[in-house]
Structure 1
Amino acid sequence: MSKTDVAIVTEQRDGKFMPLPLKAGAGVLQGTFAVIDQAGFAIDSQSIGGANQTCLGIWDNSAQNTGADGDVLALVQRKKQFLMSNSSTDALTQADLGIQVFIEDNQTVAKSDGNGTRSLAGKFMGFDSQFTNYVWVEIE
């Protein structure tokens, strides 16, 4: 495509909700981390928590792909703060406010990257006064 010499209407979306293609055989669970592999497909919610995974948000709905890579799309919420479980073995404290946090499992964040075995989740934004074993995580 070449450059335009006239005004155009460029489609847009706010980025808070994003459709994401699922890897073949992947099942994703509402409310858990939405993570893709190096090929750009969402991985099964039971496989989350390793290195070389990219967190894009939190699943807005559960879905199952029984077909080929990308046959099913699921909706991801992002650009918000989400209430996630705080690790019991690598827990965040008030002094950690604002640091990057890492995925321990499909609903839990940890303070460290586990010596390179955990992927980035987002940024620690504080504790919840009602659910004391949970923390607010901002995911761009």
Structure 2
Amino acid sequence: MPATNQDRNTPHKGGELIVAPVAAGVSIPAGTIVCASATGFATPGVTATTLAYLGMADANVDNSAGADGAVSVPVRRGRAFKWANDAGDPVTQASLGRACYIVDNQTVAKTNGGNTRSQAGTVVALDADGVWVI
């Protein structure tokens, strides 16, 4: 389809809460980091280089006995979430406005760990007990 030079009635919807099909064999606790795997299925945050950060699980979903997409998880997006700060590679005030990286389903780190971690998002604040990421 070629580019248009006419007005276009473009469909749209809110993106703050999405529903993502869950990868086979995983359980995603509510309130934890949710990522998209390389195949596009929702999976918990872990140290891996093939994940795309989606946001926070809005419900507990168990697909440990199911196939890819057998269940779906609601994922909250577009807000800053407070994640735990990795003790071994802590996010610091100097990270404000910069990327942080996924360690596990509730923890972020300052660096990509020697190219072993996927990006979580952007640091927007730092508290004594966690890192705010959007």
TM-score range, shorter chain: 0.7 to 0.9
RMSD after superposition: 2.2
**Match 2:57 to one of 59, 66, 83:** 59
The structural deviation recorded for 1:11 is: 4.2
TM-score (norm 2): 0.88
Q: Which residue in the other structure is 2:124 paired with?
A: 125
Gapped regions of structure 2 (runs ≥ 5): 2-6
Question: The residue matched to 1:80 in structure 2 has which SS?
Answer: coil
Counterpart Cα distance in 2 of 1:101 and 1:60? 22
Letter in 1 for 2:54: L
Counterpart Cα distance in 1 of 2:39 and 2:76? 20
The structural deviation recorded for 1:80 is: 0.9
Counterpart Cα distance in 1 of 2:90 and 2:67? 38
The structural deviation recorded for 1:12 is: 2.7
Q: Which residue in the other structure is 1:4 paired with?
A: none
Question: The residue matched to 1:15 in structure 2 has which SS?
Answer: coil
User: Which deviates more from structure 2 when the two are superposed, residues 93-102 or residues 47-56?
Assistant: 47-56
Runs of 4+ in 1 over 4 A off after TM superposition: 7-11
Letter in 1 for 2:124: M
Q: Which residue in the other structure is 2:34 paired with?
A: 34
| Matched length | 132
The structural deviation recorded for 1:42 is: 1.4
Q: Which residue in the other structure is 1:137 paired with?
A: 133
Q: Give identity over the alignment, percent.
A: 38
- Structure 1 residues 8, 21: CA separation in 2 closer, same or farther (over 3 Å shift)? same
Q: Which residue in the other structure is 1:106 paired with?
A: 105
User: Which deviates more from structure 2 when the two are superposed, residues 116-125 or residues 90-99?
Assistant: 90-99
TM-score (norm 1): 0.84
